[in-house]
Structure 1
């Protein structure tokens, strides 16, 4: 069973979500809350697996409720909102989806399916690290598994495995995934701390690359290096980052020439 809480200051909106949930046999409603303060208290006490959270509420907003909880205590969240401009912030708080009001039944079912998949993944991950957590997983950093980017008025999801390299663009970053490029509202310095170092490495103050996409490295006279990715993209590696880069590339064997 998936234990669910519903948080919305509008009684009709709450009852609409609850009515939809009643059609799913694997859902158990453990709480409903009309304001942020009571929701925060209820989430701490009931520890639901999933919460449907209204973004805009008087006093404490839905996003503030989620942000007030430590990451290891925060339930999966599906955001309820009349506007789409909260989407990126929502996913920074690890919300798995958001639904625009008035809620569409098909989108509601899709979001619930996504919650089921996410819960299944979390259970498998918990089993791999030795069972359910009893506190914060301080020894296991939570690295990004996907990016959330705006494409016009839409929000797109880019899987981390699709990204080949990332370049700084002022206070933003551009993700390069095949022939596509996505602008992300995030600095390269912050991104470098959120990416799994087993897969990504910074090679320049303005560039991060996925290590297994590097096909060739050519030293330059100023001790910098020219990288060539598997798709032929040339990138410059600064001498400041050459040492760690060479250490990481050793495991690629003949795939890299130096």
Structure 2
């Protein structure tokens, strides 16, 4: 996958490039320090993926992406120091949104999402309309095989090499690590809120900010879950996209 970075801060560009160098399936093709130059360089280099700073002198990163025809627009991961741009990132649409300073775990997850989107693209499928998301899972319960519908899942937790699918008061163990399962779930319905937790967005009833920038979620059935601060901005953006919750 051919990758480009656009950021007006040289140190920020160097930081992204250093992280990318540890991934052998990614090829660094170029960089730009402002929006106008980015437009020219992207037209010439045609990257598959661009890490795009939101705020730059002159033309913003969001304006750059909006000026590119959707059919020619590269996959985009937005970078910013301000969390209020998160909603715009999801409306664009962008693949992901990373808050500076970049968290290594979130960076790897964003790359995994880009790889998945690229596979759909190479199969001539629209990323936005992809029907590849898992709709049901088969799990073994004793001697029986039980079918669990994705629409019935409230939340999912990591359990070593398994994922615990919480459906009401029942928990079904799926033999698949959480990080792999997260790539098969529709991001419009499921969101990772912690390294060990994925939640179905429409099950969230309340969101309470904590002193360390973590958040406490409460599901509609009363289940409390903790959201790590590295996922909170993405969570708030997803909730702002249409879910009515009470934020403390």
Q: Indicate the SS of the match to 1:85.
A: helix
Contact residue 87 and residue 241 of structure 2 kept, 8 A: no
Offset from partner CA, 1:118-161 (integer Å, 9 cap, x none): 1112222x0x6xxxxxxxxxxx9x65989xxxxxxxxx94339x
TM-score w.r.t. length of structure 2: 0.53
SS of the aligned residue for 1:41 comes to helix
* Cα distance change of structure 1 residues 61 and 106 upon mapping to structure 2, 3 Å threshold: same
- Equivalent residue for 1:20? 19
For residue 159 of structure 1, the aligned residue among 189, 193, 196 is 189
Describe the shift of the 1:163–1:29 C-alpha distance in structure 2 as closer, same or farther (beyond 3 A).
closer
Counterpart residue number, 1:235? none
Contact 1:99 1:108 in 2 (8 A): yes
After TM superposition, the structure 1 = structure 2 runs for residues 27-38 of structure 1, keeping only pairs within 5 Å, are 27-38=26-37
Write the distance in 2 (CA, Å) between the matches of 1:109 and 1:163.
22
Distance 1:109 1:157 in 2: 16
Separation of aligned partners in 2, 1:88 and 1:143: 20
Instruction: Give the Å deviation of 1:43.
Output: 1.1
Secondary structure of 2:22 counterpart: coil
User: SS state of the match for residue 71, structure 1?
Assistant: coil
What's the TM-score once normalised by structure 1's chain length? 0.51
Alignment map for 1:180-195 (pairs within 5 Å):
184=241
Counting matched residue pairs gives 148
Question: Per chain length, whose mean CA-contact separation is higher, i.e. which structure has more relative contact order (CA < 8 Å, sep 6+)?
Answer: 2
RMSD: 3.1
Question: What is the correspondence of 1:26-105 to structure 2 with a 5 Å cutoff?
Answer: 26-105=25-104
Gaps of 5+ in 2: 134-185, 191-199, 203-218, 222-238, 244-248
How far apart, CA to CA, are the structure 2 residues paired with 1:42 and 1:3? 13
Q: Is the 8 A contact 2:77 2:96 kept in 1?
A: yes
CA distance in 2 between counterparts of 1:37 and 1:119 reads 26
Q: Which residue of 2 aligns with 1:107?
A: 106
CA contact (8 A) 1:44 1:73 kept: no
The structural deviation recorded for 1:106 is 1.1
Which structure has the larger Rg? 1
